[in-house]
């Protein structure tokens, strides 16, 4: 929440971000045969994950609404700036 009391996470353009558990994380990496840093990145202090308690190397799951696919799953790896 910003000083103005505006919560960007409630804005309709901001998709839902959740932290991925260690178990799920290794499943994702196994599924795509990649290391964490081959995932798309997200900066640690990105406003959408500010209150998520994540550290660099964690994976964030993003659920996006898509006009064609209904809901699309996306993963991002947290990094420092």
Partner 1 sequence: MPEERIEEPEPSVSKRIGSIQFSVFSPKMIKKMSAAKVVTPELYDKEGYPVDGGLMDIRLGVIDPGLKCKTCGSKLKECVGHFGYIELARPVIHIKFVNLIYNMLMSTCRECGRVLIPQAKIAKAKADLDKIEEESGIESRRLEIRKVISSMKTVNKCPHCKAKQHKISLEKPTTFLEEEKRLSPIEIRVRLEKIPDDDVFLFGMNPIHIRPEWMVLTIMAIPPVTMRPSITLESGERSEDDLTHKLGDIVRINQRLFENINAGAPEIIIEDLWDLLQYHITTFFDNSVAQLPPARHRSGQALRTISERIKSKEGRIRHNLAGKRTNFSARTVISPDPMIGLNEVGVPLVIAMKLTVPERVNDWNVSYLKKFVEKGPEKYPGANYIVRPDGKKKKITDETKEASLEELQPGYTVERHLLDGDIAIFNRQPSLHRMSMMCHRVRVLPGRTLRLNPSVCNPYNADFDGDEMNLHIPQTEEARAEAEILMEVQTQLISPRYGLSVIGCIQDAISGNYILTKGLTFPKEEAFDVLYSAGIKDFSLPNKEKITGKEIFSAILPKDFNFTGHSRSKDEKGSDKVVISNGKLTEGVMDKNNLGEGSGLLLRNIHKKYGKEYAIKLIGDIFKLGIQVLIRYGFSTAISDTDLPSDAKAKINEVMENVRKEVDELIVTYRQGNFDAFPGKSIEESLELKILELLNSARNKAGELVANYADKESHTMIMAVSGARGNLINLAQMATCVGQQALRGKRIDKGYNKRTLSCFREQDLTPIARGFITNGFKTGLTPAEFFFGSMTGRDSLMDTALRTPKSGYLYRRLANAMQDLKIEYDYTVRNASGRIVQFEYGEDGIDVSKSEKGIVNVKRIIKSNL
Does residue 42 bind partner 1 (CB under 8 A)? no
What's the CA gap between 62 and 33, in Å, rounded? 20
Residue of 14, 48, 52, 79 interacting with partner 1 (CB under 8 A)? 79
Map residues 7-36 to x or -, x wherever contact with partner 1 holds by CB under 8 A.
------------------------xxxx--
Count other C-beta atoms under 10 Å from residue 63's C-beta. Answer: 13
Task: Using the rule CB under 8 A, give the single segment among 7-15, 19-27, 45-53, 62-70 that binds partner 1.
Answer: 62-70
Shortest Å, Cβ 45 to partner 1: 16
What's the CA gap between 30 and 48, in Å, rounded? 26
Phi, psi (deg, nearest 5) at residue 46: -60, 130
């Amino acid at each position: 929440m910003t000083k103005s009391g505006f919560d960007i996470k409630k804005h309709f353009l901001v998709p839902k971000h959740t932290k991925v558990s260690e178990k799920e994380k290794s499943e994702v990496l196994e599924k795509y045969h990649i290391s964490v840093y081959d995932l798309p990145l997200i900066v640690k202090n990105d406003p959408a994950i500010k209150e998520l308690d994540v550290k660099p190397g964690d994976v964030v799951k993003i659920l996006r609404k898509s006009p064609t696919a209904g809901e699309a799953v996306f993963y991002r790896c947290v990094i420092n700036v």
